A and B are shown apart, each in its own frame.
Chain A
Amino acid sequence: DTAVSQTPKYLVTQMGNDKSIKCEQNLGHDTMYWYKQDSKKFLKIMFSYNNKELIINETVPNRFSPKSPDKAHLNLHINSLELGDSAVYFCASSQPGTGVNSPLHFGNGTRLTVT
């Protein structure tokens, strides 16, 4: 019963290509996120979606376009990939702001390597 699942687990591609990472959660949460973990293992939020609406966009280049077809899914599409995009991308979900604290639940990550 995977709570937050993302695919693929590994993604190797060349510069200039376009790729997508998919994320799905079965926790019934309203809020989903994308995080980027760089080579120094620092985790940084990229996007936050609440009920399919963009809440936070942390100055991410517009080559990155998240899409939320429904509140259980948040996909990340990346255009014109660059070497600096190589990182591990984590999807997460939670249920904040309801008066009942919900922990962040993370997927297992997608390791993107751009060559």
Chain B
Amino acid sequence: KQEVTQIPAALSVPEGENLVLNCSFTDSAIYNLQWFRQDPGKGLTSLLLIQSSQREQTSGRLNASLDKSSGRSTLYIAASQPGDSATYLCAVHNTGGFKTIFGAGTRLFVKA
């Protein structure tokens, strides 16, 4: 049974810092992995999708890596800004992508 864990559960950093959010999963037989952002009271916004055959994806200040063999993914945020404050969720797609397991999320607060 796939389990997804995110560390840390919460993180507070000053503006401008580079930071890393961690995601680990127990079953390496994944279809792909997706990082989301959720603002309070809002839906989920997709940030990056990494295929099982890929090692990383980049979008602007965001870089996500994937190491299937060790069951880990990281989301790197460069030069953090107060607008980055949100909950970041890691989601692992199994079973041809029909089933997605979410981590509990990392709540990020970037101080101005």
Which A residues contact B (CB, under 8 angstroms)? 31, 33, 40-45, 48, 50, 55-56, 90, 92, 94, 96-97, 101-109
Which of A43, A44, A55 meets B98, CB within 8 Å?
Answer: A55
B42 CB within 8 Å of chain A:
yes
Chain A, residue nearest B107 (CB): A41
Docked Cα-Cα span, A82 to B51, in Å, equals: 39
Asked if B96 and A45 make an inter-chain contact with CB atoms under 8 angstroms apart, the answer reads no
With A44-B102, A90-B44 as contacts: A96 and B96 at CB distance below 8 Å: yes
- Which residues on B sit within 8 Å (CB–CB) of A92? 44
Asked if B31 and A41 make an inter-chain contact with CB atoms under 8 angstroms apart, the answer reads no
Which of B43, B44, B46, B98 meets A97, CB within 8 Å?
Answer: B98
B81 CB within 8 Å of chain A:
no
- Tally of contacts, chain A with chain B, CB under 8 A: 64
B62 CB within 8 Å of chain A:
no
The number of chain B residues with a CB under 8 A from chain A is 26
- Which residues on A sit within 8 Å (CB–CB) of B98? 31, 48, 50, 55-56, 96-97
Asked if A41 and B87 make an inter-chain contact with CB atoms under 8 angstroms apart, the answer reads yes
CB within 8 Å of A: which B35-56 residues? 36, 38, 42-46, 49, 51
Chain A, residue nearest B97 (CB): A96
Which of A48, A96, A106 meets B44, CB within 8 Å?
Answer: A106
Which B residues contact A (CB, under 8 angstroms)? 31-32, 34, 36, 38, 42-46, 49, 51, 87, 89, 91, 93, 95-102, 104-105
Docked Cα-Cα span, A108 to B45, in Å, equals: 10
- Which residues on B sit within 8 Å (CB–CB) of A94? 97
Docked Cα-Cα span, A96 to B95, in Å, equals: 10
A-B contact pairs, 27 of them (CB 8 A): A31-B97, A41-B38, A41-B87, A41-B105, A42-B104, A43-B91, A43-B102, A45-B100, A45-B101, A55-B98, A92-B44, A94-B97, A96-B96, A96-B98, A97-B96, A97-B98, A101-B31, A101-B51, A101-B97, A102-B97, A103-B34, A104-B44, A104-B91, A104-B100, A106-B36, A106-B46, A107-B43
